[in-house]
Structure 1
Amino acid sequence: MMGIRALRRKAGKEDAEKPFWISFSDLMTALMVLFLVAMAVALIAVTHGLATINKDKEERQQTIAACIADVKALTDRSEFQGVSVHGHSIDFGTLVLFGNDRHRFENPTHEHFVRQFVPRVLDLARSKQCEQWLKRVVVEGFASQTGNYLYNLNLSYLRSQRVLCVLLDAQAANALVATDRQFIQSLFLVGGSSFNTAAGEAARMRRVELRLEFRDLGSARDQHTDIPLDPGVKCPNDLH
């Protein structure tokens, strides 16, 4: 009897010390479940991220479309008849033209029209629809097919610069207010297009456009530095 009890106690001790091992199939099942959970979490995160990007992209497009719609509504006003909007560009048509082979305006009334129209564009640039995504406004001049490429490229640039000279002229009878001129200095750039982009009748090649450029999705807004306001007493571009 004593021997049997000793054997039982010994067997119980060995059973208690025996380690617990799950089966290989249970281990693989647990790993598979863990993998599926991780994949599900990853897919949800990716799907949510794509949905957010698509939503932001759609909201950006809608906001820009609303901005352009406001610009088109501006050109529909009776005093601005003749100005048209193509894509993101504002075309002055024959209302603002330059002399043949010159960067002087064809008529002094064209200068007056520029000073009358651009402040309304600045008002829209400050609006909620445009301000959120508007990056810059490029003044783009054009040149005719007469002459060589570099000459006309420079001429179109000078015509663009002439527009800014008119807008920043503080001595004009209908000069823009200082806040508008300061805004132009921080927002506007000049560009030029030679005859390789011009088309149509000769007048179309002596025109000027305002091209609105918008920020890409995810890009930060440009930090405009405070540029001292130009006194606007003399254009560096001598009249020609």
Structure 2
Amino acid sequence: MAMFEVADAYISFMGRFSTPLAPLFADVGLAGVGASAAVLDVGCGPGMLTAELVRRQGAARVAAVDPVATFVAAAAAAHPDADVRRASAEDLPFPDESFDATLAQLVVHFMSDAPAGLAEMRRVTRPGGRVSACVWDHGGGTGPLSAFWRAVLAVDPTVTDEAALPGSNAGDLAALMVAAGLREVTEVPLTVTVPFATFDEWWEPYTFGVGTAGVAFDALSPEQQERVVDLLRTELGDGPFTMSATAWAGSGVR
């Protein structure tokens, strides 16, 4: 795929859920943070949360980082007045105490070292500032990919899903944040509901090979892939239908 095609594929796949999640998560991550506060989006992807932060704070007060060059290019193009850089959560390119709020939407479970990533988020946040993260409820079975993983595991029980990834179960994020030295830590569920006119509209992005789910589906044999689709169509019907997805959002004070 070309550079922006990669970002577009991700937006089609997960953006349909993470975009409506962004304002709910921003309410958590910006609680008690003023309109003139400087904020950082860690693991920004193509910029779904970045867009919400820019809308609330203004582009000049928003910074964003992601380790994937295609995502950085897409987010920077969409928000040219924001400070968008290529970097990992575990090695943020900012001085200590640079931001009033640091947020990571749907990225802790993909960090190579989640405790180190949260510690870095704490480092770049000013005393009294807020550090927040959210992860889909993969472990509890109410995430946006839960139906997919149930069908895949029914066809091939040896596949590794996302249920055990950091932050994917109730209480995970709160424990990680306390361990990172944050205070007054809370964790709440955030739920979005997305309508789909047809089964094919919902299913098509799974065929793009994007993310853990796309890679897992590509690794199945053609016969197994057909069985997965059959199981999902039986469960969901041809449409219209709605899909609800819940994320755990943790937040603490520096």
Q: TM-score, normalised by structure 2?
A: 0.26
Please identify which structure carries the higher helix content. Answer: 1
From the CA coordinates, give the structure whose radius of gyration is larger: 1
Please identify which structure carries the higher strand content. Answer: 2
Q: TM-score, normalised by structure 1?
A: 0.27
